[in-house]
Amino acid sequence: MLNVTTLTGKAILPYLDALARLRIEVFREYPYLYDGDMEYERRYLRAFLEAPDSLLVLVQNGKEVVGASTALPLEHETENIKQPPAEAGYDVEKVFYFGESVLRKAYRGQGLGNRFFEERERHARKLGRFDTLAFCAVIRPEDHPRRPEDYLPLDAFWRRRGFSQTDIYCYISWQGLDEEEESPKALQFWIKSLK
């Protein structure tokens, strides 16, 4: 039986390591191709945990964490993520930023992706000070050698949720599966107005 809960602030702490392991597992897949490690994950997640009004949507099968989705006010993100929307004219203090959604393969296609978006948008609306939702999607060339033949981009799903592609980009560094060290990866912003 799947249980979906929403957590904020320090309530997230007990799930930090489980979330880190899940991120490492899911982000090895295309298109992220992330060669993660627990130390990096703990640093990243601790910063998220300490951001006021952050949200974790947690999916558990019994006690096992099988899915998660995060969000926080954009003003608490790192400079490389908040600067491009600011330069494009968005008021960073009024943008609620959706972080990752990670879900084990066996649990996909059951409506949890929709639930992740619904819960994060509900939280942003409840906070009452945001006029824009945003997230970033990693960009990979169509002919990427690790792209699975059956890979289906999520663009249509995101559009159904009311998001639009922008020409705003940011760069986030991580170590890819075929790399010796971290390198910057391009990500594209998707935006939804709450007005």
Burial of 183 by CB count in 10 Å (0-12 exposed, 13-18 middle, 19+ buried)? Answer: exposed
Residue 65 predicted with pLDDT over 90: yes
pTM of the model: 0.95
Chain centroid to Cα 112, Å, comes to: 14
Binned at pLDDT 50, 70 and 90, residue 50 comes out as: confident
- Locate all alpha helices (DSSP H) within the chain, ordered by sequence: 16-27, 38-50, 79-87, 112-127, 155-160
Token pair of 15, please? Answer: 């799930």
Token pair of 9, please? Answer: 């602030």
- Number of Cβ within a 10 Å radius of residue 194: 14
Residue 48 predicted with pLDDT over 90: no
Between CA 168 and CA 11 the distance in angstroms is 33
Name 187's bridge partners: 138, 170
Name 184's bridge partners: 173
Provide the residue type at 56 as one letter: L
- pLDDT 10s digits, 127-162: 999 999 999 999 999 899 999 999 989 999 999 999
User: Which domains can be identified in the chain, with CATH numbers?
Assistant: 2-193 (3.40.630.30)
Which residues are CB-neighbours of 56 under 8 A, at least 6 positions away? Answer: 6, 7, 8, 12, 15, 19, 68, 69, 70
Q: Provide Rg for the chain, Cα atoms.
A: 16
CA distances from 49 to 10, 32, 77, 135, 181 (A): 7, 22, 11, 18, 26
Residue 47 predicted with pLDDT over 90: no
The arithmetic mean of pLDDT across residues 44-61, rounded, is 91
Between CA 126 and CA 129 the distance in angstroms is 9
Which candidate, 50, 134, 56, 51, places its Cα nearest to that of 94? 134
Token pair of 144, please? Answer: 């990427």
